[in-house]
Structure 1
Amino acid sequence: MFEEASEVFDNMFKSSFPLTFIVFIPAVLILVSPLPAEAAHEFTVYRMQQYDLQGQPYGTRNAILNTEARSVEAEVLSRRCVIMRLIDFSYEKYQKALRQSAGAVVIILPKNMSTMPQDIVQQFMELEPEMLATETIVPVYFALEDDELLSIYTQTLTSSPTQGTATAAEVLLHTATANGFQMVTSGAQSKAVSDWAITSLEGRLAGVGGEDLPTIVLVAHYDAFGVAPWLSYGADSNGSGVSMLLELARLFSRLYTYKRTHAGYNLLFFVSGGGKFNYQGTKRWLEDNLDHTDSSLLQDNVAFVLCLDTLGNGDGLHLHVSKPPKEGTPQHALLRELETVVSSQYPEVKFSMVHKKINLADDTLAWEHERFGIRRLPAFTLSHLASHRLAQRSSIMDVRPTVDMRRLSRNTKVVAEALARVIYNLTEKVNSEGAPEDLQIFTEQMQVQEEQLSSVVDWLTAQPRAAQLLDKDSSVVSTLEHQLGRYLKDVKRHYVKADKRDPEFVFYDQLKQTMNAYRVKPAIFDLLLAFCIAAYLGVMYLAIQNFGVLYGVIRRVTQPKTKTH
């Protein structure tokens, strides 16, 4: 029987090799078929800043990604998507990816930033300006951690061959058999956004007692900034400043409602846009009021401009000035009243004046009051930060928990009391011992409402407020306009668009995209699989072609030996 089968198979396969292929390929596919493919994981990614300021490009220049994932510990990162978690992030690792011409960098952030250790948060905040200092071709994305994304990161970390692997053969085998992920973005290449309008808002409370009244200007910029626009919530910088400005508008609008407390000062409130982009909204507003009109409260008799910036934390208050105020001026009066209120009511607060000259050689101004100082208007900025270089002012880590409502309420009370003492000329009031009298104006029904401050900060931090995301139709702008309209008169909008020939700023789109992670085998796996299939088919073909010989060998091996007598 075996001899007959041998002849049949031998004749069949010798006469028709394609038949051999048809018979054995299904068996091969069954043997080497991989596990069922998992569905792609889809998640949202937020691209690093891309903008031009005064002709200088910043941030990433690319928005397209279609490459295989690797951990930063891998030896070769060229044309790979480097994935790293924030807890493992360092500037050296980031630079390593850029130096090796990585295809992209994806940094995984925790969903709740406040859960991160403070030293890691501080380190990343200090690195954000470094990442944005120069442009890079490599697209850089941020993603919020979830279980699937964490699993992708863990598997990528496990499958990435490193320098610690023992031999080249092990590296080859590891590379061929490891599971990988192909990272693909669904968006298009980024392009400049044309005719983007930055919106600013103003409102006023008119004083009583004549037309030529001194004007006090209160300013706060409302936009936020960080390494990624869609993650820039700006709770302290400058949600706290805007919240304080609205509360001051509420308090003084009530005082200006009654004839007895209607003061002889005009109060001008300005909520500026583009503050994080060298105060473009303030720059255009000053040009419109000082150069292009004959009727403006800024034309003459400005007592001072007080800018509110980053006031939601800390036990210090710093009045930043470009030129120290002279005695006898309203600016000096405010400085003295701030000192008086702090020392008499809040001795735990450390108040100081910080003098820094305007450096026009810098690409960006340090504080918003410098925009007014350039136009020779007396101005200063109040902040709990002692320096404009501190990282809290421009970080995606500036989220809602960074604002201490008790401290913000206290700082609002300090500013309100000091302003009232200047406006109502209470500076000369002294007690029986000759010391300045400890007057408190905002008490009982007129006290600062911490709940109001908190609700405004909650609302402002409920959505990202990067300037690239807030057009003239945004809900942030319309709601701010509505809030100002509740307390002030003549609320107006002011727009600034970049010059078409020599733009001061240029914004780009594709700042938020959808990324897909597809489970794939590396390219070398296909070569190895093809080699194995070819070897298998070759062995089977030779075995069939020589079936008679093989059969004879098997017979000799399996035939029982005969006993000899």
Structure 2
Amino acid sequence: MFEEASEVFDNMFKSSFPLTFIVFIPAVLILVSPLPAEAAHEFTVYRMQQYDLQGQPYGTRNSILNTEARTVEADVLSRRCVIMRLADFSFDKYQKALRQSAGAVVIMLPKNMSAMPQDVLQQFMELEPDMLTTETIVPVYFAIEDDELMSIYTQTLTSSSSQGSLSAAEVLLHTATANGFQMVTSGAQSKAISDWAITSLEGRLTGVGGEDLPTIVLVAHYDSFGVAPWLSYGADSNGSGVSMLLELARLFSKLYTYKRTHAAYNLLFFVSGGGKFNYQGTKRWLEDNLDHTDSSLLQDNVAFVMCLDTVGNGDSLHLHVSKPPKEGTPQYSLLKELEMVISSQYPEVKFSMVHKKINLADDMLAWEHERFGIRRLPAFTLSHLPSHRSVQRSSIMDVRSVSFSSRHGAGEPPSGPHVDVKRLGRNTKVVAEALARVIYNLTEKGAPGDLQIFTEQMQVQEEQLSAVVDWLTAQPRAAQLVDKDSSVVSTLEYHLGRYLKDVKRHYVKADKRDPEFVFYDQLKQTMNAYRVKPAIFDLLLAVCIAAYLGMMYLAIQVKSLLVILQVFAFHLQKCVTFVLVIFYFIF
């Protein structure tokens, strides 16, 4: 076969130069050209929040993307997909992309969050609320960095940043020769999710000694929140709160098993859903128990409601109240017991009460206890955060001392906010000891402040706390992702059922006529980056092809002209010879 091919090329060289030039040169160019890079790269992207709350839209309004990639350094961003790295992200750059009507924004998050400086993480957490309150039709996505995506970013950055310092001709040539990337999402346009149910769970430990017993309510919401629902793991807010509540349920269920330690208090445990959406689950639960039923522990003598929120770190504890408790009330007794337990057993912890009135004019309540305060139930929230405005409560950086890459590959622990199991165990012990001192009235009985109830077989199990937090943070728990059939709900129901009685679910759906909340789909999609050339490359390629064919046409024409001249010269030579012969014979 190779011998036949060599004969064909040999005959081609000998017979026709233009044909040889037309066929051989392109073949050589194809053979010697480098191997092409990957034509496309497929990766997962996580869309920014899109929801409506009390009729107010938040987040991005679009999910379709089919446009060319650029970095924010490019002069023109209109109808382009702007790629940014977290290390270089700023709100000004983000606003620049929105002002120039960018086609989309993709923010690249590093696999190893521990490599990111703490100030970069803090800055991004502070910007997350601003990004959500800035409603935009531009689709905003987050992606986890990999080698291919970094290569795309590097090439796009080179193409975007080099054009400003070149001449017009150089820009034209660079534009024609540079590689471009067309970013395309595979999903459809986002639409509202109908009949979405937010699920909450309750269980109880019934006291002994009569029917009209005071009730202590312990509450923690289980859902997480961040700028991207699929990246919201909520380790400290509020995985730590749910973990503490389950551990308290385990401890007091043991105390309520024996007659000697069965207290004259009802303990009601409530794991609420929709906490990050103005505590929708708690709101409906209160309506069902206070307005639509004749038998409820909430309608009886409620001693106080303690909400647990963000209790997994720090060396301080703050009791957030809407109304300072009066002396002689059960909530005042708990406040004093907390102070006594901390001062006598954990002096390294700083404890304080933070008073903030309920502002009904705000779209969002500050803490979950305010839902109970509106219904005139004595309530407060325990947290290691001094203010409800802390950015750790609503950030995708609130992870369980593992990086994003642990869910997408290997990685190191991040330096951002996380749960410290030692501190979570200590805080759980503080709450358990203070609650026990209240329900058993130990202070009035003369028990010393350093008396420890939960020791030996009854001690707080840090392994249990850690396991619950690990499980909760193994998947995102944004309210849009946790439906009534979710494993999160069923597993929580199982754990509550191990320790409590009468465990049951409560559902809340948005009113169809005037919905309190609306969720949207298409929050996780597949994006493809296709390697493309710009339109000017096609134009220049067409010009080159036309020039090439023109040259070939002229070469063919020149050869034909040479043949004609050769024939003409041959005949001219014959004529001249004939004339010379005639002249020879005449003269």
In the superposition, the TM-score normalised over structure 2's length comes to 0.87
Deviation per CA, 1:55-106: give whole Å up to 9, x if none: 0000111111111111111111111111111111111111111111111111
Separation in structure 1 between the aligned mates of residue 580 and residue 394 of structure 2, nearest angstrom: 90
1:492 to 478, 499, 504: 504
Deviation per CA, 1:413-471: give whole Å up to 9, x if none: 00000000000001224xxxx99542111111111000000000000000000000000
- Residue matched to 2:348: 348
Separation in structure 1 between the aligned mates of residue 173 and residue 271 of structure 2, nearest angstrom: 62
Separation in structure 1 between the aligned mates of residue 278 and residue 580 of structure 2, nearest angstrom: 98
Q: Is the 8 A contact 2:18 2:555 kept in 1?
A: no
Change (3 A) 1:147 1:562: farther
- Displacement of 1:164 in angstroms is 3.5
Change (3 A) 1:54 1:14: farther
Change (3 A) 1:451 1:28: closer
Change (3 A) 1:105 1:4: closer
Separation in structure 2 between the aligned mates of residue 390 and residue 563 of structure 1, nearest angstrom: 117
Structure 1 range deviating more: 395-404 or 47-56: 395-404
Change (3 A) 1:253 1:19: same
Change (3 A) 1:428 1:172: same
Change (3 A) 1:304 1:528: same
- Displacement of 1:113 in angstroms is 2.7
1:400-479 paired onto structure 2 within 5 Å: 400=400, 402-429=418-445, 436-479=448-491
Structure 1 range deviating more: 61-70 or 19-28: 19-28
- Residue matched to 2:492: 480
Q: Is the 8 A contact 1:47 1:511 kept in 2?
A: yes
Deviation per CA, 1:185-238: give whole Å up to 9, x if none: 111110000000000000000000000000000000000000000000000000
Q: Is the 8 A contact 1:203 1:484 kept in 2?
A: yes
Change (3 A) 1:564 1:328: farther
- Displacement of 1:562 in angstroms is 29
- Residue matched to 1:551: none
Deviation per CA, 1:299-345: give whole Å up to 9, x if none: 12100000000000011100000000000000100001111111111
- Displacement of 1:135 in angstroms is 1.4
Q: Is the 8 A contact 1:75 1:162 kept in 2?
A: no
Question: What is the alpha-carbon root mean square deviation over aligned residues?
Answer: 5.7
- Displacement of 1:4 in angstroms is 28
Structure 1 range deviating more: 327-336 or 163-172: 163-172
- Displacement of 1:535 in angstroms is 2.3
Change (3 A) 1:289 1:562: farther
What secondary structure is seen at the aligned counterpart in 2 of 1:513? strand
What secondary structure is seen at the aligned counterpart in 2 of 1:114? helix
Q: Is the 8 A contact 1:161 1:171 kept in 2?
A: no
Q: Is the 8 A contact 1:290 1:298 kept in 2?
A: yes
Change (3 A) 1:32 1:528: farther
Change (3 A) 1:505 1:2: closer
Change (3 A) 1:562 1:111: farther
Deviation per CA, 1:475-497: give whole Å up to 9, x if none: 00000000000000000000000
Structure whose alpha-carbon radius of gyration is higher: 2
Change (3 A) 1:280 1:16: farther
Separation in structure 2 between the aligned mates of residue 4 and residue 387 of structure 1, nearest angstrom: 85
1:335-414 paired onto structure 2 within 5 Å: 335-400=335-400, 402-414=418-430
- Displacement of 1:21 in angstroms is 13
Q: Is the 8 A contact 2:225 2:233 kept in 1?
A: yes
Separation in structure 2 between the aligned mates of residue 252 and residue 560 of structure 1, nearest angstrom: 133
Separation in structure 2 between the aligned mates of residue 206 and residue 9 of structure 1, nearest angstrom: 97
Q: Is the 8 A contact 1:341 1:417 kept in 2?
A: yes
Separation in structure 2 between the aligned mates of residue 360 and residue 8 of structure 1, nearest angstrom: 90
Separation in structure 2 between the aligned mates of residue 536 and residue 85 of structure 1, nearest angstrom: 43
- Displacement of 1:18 in angstroms is 14
- Displacement of 1:539 in angstroms is 3.5
Change (3 A) 1:559 1:297: farther
- Displacement of 1:540 in angstroms is 3.5
Change (3 A) 1:45 1:2: closer
- Displacement of 1:28 in angstroms is 11
What secondary structure is seen at the aligned counterpart in 1 of 2:298? coil
Separation in structure 1 between the aligned mates of residue 250 and residue 119 of structure 2, nearest angstrom: 39
Aligned pairs, how many? 550
1:5-154 paired onto structure 2 within 5 Å: 36=36, 38-154=38-154
Separation in structure 1 between the aligned mates of residue 121 and residue 339 of structure 2, nearest angstrom: 33
* Structure 1 runs not aligned, ≥5 long: 546-556
Deviation per CA, 1:156-194: give whole Å up to 9, x if none: 111224563231222211111101111111111100000
Separation in structure 1 between the aligned mates of residue 30 and residue 455 of structure 2, nearest angstrom: 83
Structure 1 range deviating more: 287-296 or 178-187: 178-187
Q: Is the 8 A contact 1:240 1:309 kept in 2?
A: yes
Change (3 A) 1:17 1:186: farther
Deviation per CA, 1:122-150: give whole Å up to 9, x if none: 11100000100121111011111111111
Separation in structure 2 between the aligned mates of residue 112 and residue 198 of structure 1, nearest angstrom: 33
What secondary structure is seen at the aligned counterpart in 2 of 1:517? strand
Separation in structure 1 between the aligned mates of residue 344 and residue 43 of structure 2, nearest angstrom: 54
- Displacement of 1:10 in angstroms is 23
Q: Is the 8 A contact 1:78 1:103 kept in 2?
A: yes
- Displacement of 1:530 in angstroms is 0.9
Change (3 A) 1:139 1:2: closer
Q: Is the 8 A contact 1:280 1:496 kept in 2?
A: yes
Q: Is the 8 A contact 1:428 1:436 kept in 2?
A: no
Change (3 A) 1:166 1:289: same
Q: Is the 8 A contact 1:9 1:544 kept in 2?
A: no
Overall identity of the aligned pairs, in % = 90
Separation in structure 2 between the aligned mates of residue 137 and residue 561 of structure 1, nearest angstrom: 93
- Displacement of 1:39 in angstroms is 3.6
Structure 1 range deviating more: 164-173 or 300-309: 164-173
Structure 1 range deviating more: 318-327 or 77-86: 77-86
- Displacement of 1:405 in angstroms is 0.5
* Structure 2 runs not aligned, ≥5 long: 401-416, 558-575
- Displacement of 1:370 in angstroms is 0.2
- Displacement of 1:23 in angstroms is 7.1
Change (3 A) 1:213 1:45: same
Q: Is the 8 A contact 1:28 1:533 kept in 2?
A: no
Separation in structure 1 between the aligned mates of residue 583 and residue 213 of structure 2, nearest angstrom: 135
Separation in structure 1 between the aligned mates of residue 224 and residue 7 of structure 2, nearest angstrom: 84
